Structure 1
Amino acid sequence: MNRDDAVPLPRRETPRPGPQRVGSQVPRTTRPTRHGRVRRAGLIMVRIIGATTALAILTGTGLAWSAKNDVDSGVTHSTALGEDPPRSRGGDVNILLIGLDTRKDLNGNDLPKEILDQLHAGDGTEGGYNANSLILLHIPADLRKIVAFSIPRDDYVAVTGIPGYRQIKIKEAYGLKKAAVQAKLIEQGETDPVVLERRGREAGRASIVSTVRNLVGVPIDRFAEISLAGFYDLATAVGGVDVCLNNAVDDSEFSGAVFPAGRQHLDGAQALAFVRQRHGLRNGDLDRTHRQQAFLTSVANSLEDSGTLTNLSRLSALMDVAHKDLVLSDGWNLFDFARELGAAGSLPVEFRTLPVVRYDVIDGQDVNIVDPAAIKREVQAAFGQQVSKTTTTAPIPTSVVGVPDDTGRTTTTPGTSAAPLPDTGKPVTTTIGSTIPCVN
């Protein structure tokens, strides 16, 4: 039995009256036609998985079956979930979306200079391999509502399997493990840079998956990884995205984001700057997670409004994004997945952000102090799972002060802090075609 058979797409049950609405869901005044429901449901996956939108779109065209093999065979697959990982029960599916902040391609080569210039992302030596975008997506068996948790990249979490580290920012679980594995391979005599890159990145994927799984306390059935360039390529392929800002921003020194307040249309380079900005925002990285959510919503609406459904050149561009910028967990056939999800009907998507206790500083770095037990309870409840009553966690320090240990590394001890309480925002439920919410 292959992995896809082990985690089939949930089948929708007979709709129940009065579905619950959580957060600030956008009201719907008319019932869409069956054709509209099917098409927009396919686009929900577009918003969530980003670069895989080509697959959902193809399901509504005459290219569906002729393009199927080309689409799936051209996508890179990974075995980083392991041979026998924990699985969701009852037909539910949990998907981890990983946005990797690297300036290199899948073989470790620097991106072309003209692309780096568009990305406003340095010369290729910056960024490392941080997982700066992490979204955990839950598709329940009854398909009543998709829940998507954004995981702030600076959450300070426990980690295993990375020599010399016990706690790190969650974004670092990928790059630190990759570097450790590559160093060991080099000691063993491996010199091929492509082999080092691929094996290091496989180890990085396994590390970020296990770290997230340990933090949230639920299985991860599938994952999709997209590169920094993938955000740019995706926004470019759909002809840009519409966004709305509460305030004007000028972050020309860092992300390159310079935008007025209000609603506006962004091209690919501007869209990437929009999702990357954190300097000058009231809640820093937490505001950036809300921008990532708004970006995914905007992509879906752009696809519907731009004529991509009938534009062969844009379909081809989206296929190129999937082939060039996307890595999927082994056994995941996205074409069939998107086709079946599209046939399920219209689905609301609830965006949430993992709770943060407060901001602090450890080893000179800004971090988010979190309560792992509270996170597990919130995620399990939102996913409709039985909340564990035995989940415990170590006491959370009121602050931290760096202290060298006997290895020369710096650990932390309790102190005092006046850092403000973070605002992770309320859950927001939205549907394709609704007005894009304004963000900071």
Structure 2
Amino acid sequence: MQSRGRHHRTAFLVLMRTAWIAVCAAVLVVSGFAWSTVSTISSGVERSYAIPDDAPRSESGRNILIMGLTTRLDLHGEPLPDDVLRRMQAGESDRGGYNANTLILLHIPVSGPAVAMSVPRDNLVPLSSGGEGKIKEAYGRAKVAEEERLQAAGTHDKRTLERAGREAGRRAQVQTVSTFLNQPIDHLVEISLIGFFHIAEGLGGVDVCLKNATKDPLSGADFPAGPQHLDAGQALSFVRQRHGLPGGDLDRTRRQQAFLASVARRLKGADITVVQAMIDTAKQDVVLDAGFDLTEFARNLPTEVRFDTLPVEGGAHIGGQDVNKVDPAKVREKVNELATAPPPPPPDDGVPCID
């Protein structure tokens, strides 16, 4: 299948919208804000130990796995406030589970442009816990298994179970993606659904452009054709929509990329007070691995980055589910190709229209 991509300049800005906290660090650096401000980003952010100190490391740069979860709960497993759920237009707090519906491998080479590779969420792959499943399911399956193990051993504190379960989910998701792509994972960034909402809300919405009008009651999407400004709730519907799109879930990946590009455009030149407010909000939505040094990360970002989507072979219906069939050898070949490709041409300054 032909891979879909979008080229965007300014590495830190590109991964910013997806990796939020990392984004903020990059924005401050490129904008010329004080390093003392950059260093404050790490304080108060939830940290994970899912990547052990002795884990294999990339020799050609750094690989950062960005995971976007479907859960409507906060980092402690508590329901979001009713007014927030209403504005998100994403259903009740018990919906979504813990699937990693957004998976992006950000490769930052020793030199040259960075590349953000979207991994389609419905790829049928071997899971680290055993057996096959959709790649997005590694997190949720491991979380449930760990919580059941702890409960059987006598642990019943809700927050303890949530913390341990999510750590098991992160480990499983990292291991599953690493094995599938045959790439070590150096760092992870986890952001839940509310994080996407807070990003758009903090920016006062995002600008997008659609080639065709679209409507999908399941996601709340209802957009005319042409350029338009979306508020936070509409932006979340925009990145969640897959029904009614020609390419289904793969087209949703393009929408996530368009959302990120729009965030980058709006953050460029943003006032420091706006950025600081968004940083403070983001801290409640993001998890970083314990070894992720944001100051060092921001200092060494490349000046160019591009987006692409890793290939699938086609669809199949297995076990009552629609899945993507993949050829691991072709996927790994594509990963290596993208990691060593020449810099992309400079992008247009306008908002590109997508399907």
User: In 2, are the aligned partners of 1:169 and 1:367 still within 8 Å (CA)?
Assistant: yes
1:260 aligns with 2:216: no
1:430 and 1:99 map into 2 onto residues whose CA distance is 28
Q: Give the equivalent residue in structure 2 for 1:49.
A: 19
**Which segments of structure 1 move beyond 6 Å, counting only runs of 4 or more?**
none
Counterparts of 2:120 and 2:343, CA distance in 1: 17
8 A contact 1:51–1:230 mirrored in 2:
no
Distance in 1, Cα, partners of 2:95 & 2:55:
33
- The structural deviation recorded for 1:277 is 0.2
Partner of residue 291, structure 1:
255
Secondary structure of the structure 2 residue equivalent to 1:360:
strand
Change (3 A) 1:24 1:331: closer
Per the alignment, in what secondary structure is the counterpart of residue 206 of structure 1? helix
- Cα offset, 1:24, TM superposition: 7.3
- Alpha-carbon distance in structure 1 between the residues aligned to 2:289 and 2:7: 31
Aligned to 1:383: 339
Residue 367 (1) aligns with residue 323 (2): yes
Query: What is the aligned partner in structure 2 of residue 223 from structure 1?
Result: 188
Pairwise CA distance, 1:131: 0.3
Matches within 5 A, 1:43-122: 43-59=13-29, 64-90=34-60, 92-122=61-91
Q: Which amino acid aligns with 2:88?
A: L
- What is the count of residue pairs matched by the alignment? 352
Distance 1:232 1:77, change over 3 A: same
List runs of 5+ in structure 2 lacking aligned partners.
none
In 2, Cα distance between the equivalents of 1:222 and 1:295?
Answer: 23
Residue pair 1:178, 1:200 contacting (<8 A) in 2 also: yes
Once residues 104 and 140 of structure 1 are traced to their aligned partners in structure 2, the CA distance between those partners, rounded to angstroms, is 35
Q: Deviations over 1:13-65 (max 9, x none)?
A: xxxxxxxxx97758xxxxxxxxxx9xx55434424523433222333678634
- Give the equivalent residue in structure 2 for 1:271: 235
Identity, in percent, stands at 48
Note if contact 2:122-2:324 (Cα within 8 Å) is conserved in structure 1: yes
Cα RMSD of the aligned pairs, angstroms, is 2.4
Q: For residues 261 and 102 of structure 1, what CA distance do their matches in structure 2 show?
A: 30
Question: Is residue 107 of structure 2 the alignment partner of residue 147 of structure 1?
Answer: no
Shift of 1:366: 1.0
1: distance between equivalents of 2:239 and 2:30? 29
Q: CA deviation at 1:73?
A: 1.6
What secondary structure, in the 3-state scheme, does the structure 1 residue paired with 2:163 have? helix
1:280 aligned to which of 244, 267, 275: 244
Equivalent residue letter for 1:382: L
Q: Is the 8 A contact 2:7 2:344 kept in 1?
A: yes
The amino acid of 1:136's aligned partner reads: L
Answer whether contact 2:124 2:135 (CA < 8 A) is retained: yes
Q: Report the CA distance between 1:178 and its aligned residue.
A: 0.2
Q: Aligned pair in 2 of structure 1 residues 154, 195: CA closer, same or farther (>3 Å)? A: same
Q: In the TM superposition, what is the alpha-carbon distance from 1:66 to its structure 2 partner?
A: 3.9
Deviates more, 1:195-204 or 1:165-174: 165-174
TM-score, with length taken from structure 2:
0.92
2:6–2:307 CA contact under 8 A, matched in 1: no
The answer to which of 58-67 and 119-128 deviates more is 58-67
CA distance in 1, matches of 2:349, 2:31: 24
Whole-angstrom CA distance in 2 between matches of 1:133 and 1:109: 22
- The equivalent of 1:199 in structure 2 is 164
CA deviations 1:392-428 (Å, max 9, x no partner) are xxxxxxxxxxxxxxxxxxxxxxxxxxxxxxxxxxx99
CA, structure 1 residues 135+62, in 2 after alignment: closer, same or farther (shift >3 Å)? closer
1:322 equivalenced with 2:322 (yes/no): no
In 2: Cα distance, 1:219 partner to 1:125 partner: 33
Task: Select which of 143, 150, 161 maps to 1:178.
Answer: 143
Q: Aligned partners of 2:104, 2:40: CA distance in 1, in Å?
A: 27
Partners of 1:371 and 1:60 lie apart in 2 by 39
1:324 alignment partner, SS class: coil
Match of 1:159 in 2: 127
* DSSP-derived class of the 1:301 partner: helix
Asked if the contact 1:94/1:137 (under 8 Å) is kept, the reply is yes
SS of equivalent to 2:40: helix
Question: 1:369 corresponds to which letter in structure 2?
Answer: K
Match of 1:437 among 349, 352, 355: 352
Unmatched tracts of structure 1, length 5 or more: 1-21, 27-36, 386-426
CA distance in 1, matches of 2:50, 2:321: 29
1:112-166 Cα deviation digits (max 9, x unpaired): 1111111112111110001000111111111x221111111111111132xxx50
Aligned-pair distance for 1:382? 2.1
Q: 1:432 to 1:329 in 2, by over 3 A?
A: farther
Instruction: Say whether the 8 Å CA contact 2:29–2:38 is kept in structure 1.
Output: no
Map residues 343-362 of structure 1 onto 2, 5 A cutoff: 346-347=303-304, 349-362=305-318
One-letter identity of the residue aligned with 1:201: R
CA distance in 1, matches of 2:6, 2:272: 34
Q: How far apart are the structure 2 equivalents of 1:84 and 1:264?
A: 48
TM-score scaled to structure 1, two decimals?
Answer: 0.75
CA deviation vs aligned residue, 1:73-130 (integer Å, no higher than 9, x gap)? 211111111231111114x111111001101111100111111111112111110001
* Alpha-carbon spacing, 1:428–1:184, altered in 2? closer, same or farther (3 Å): farther
State the secondary structure of the residue aligned to 2:72: coil
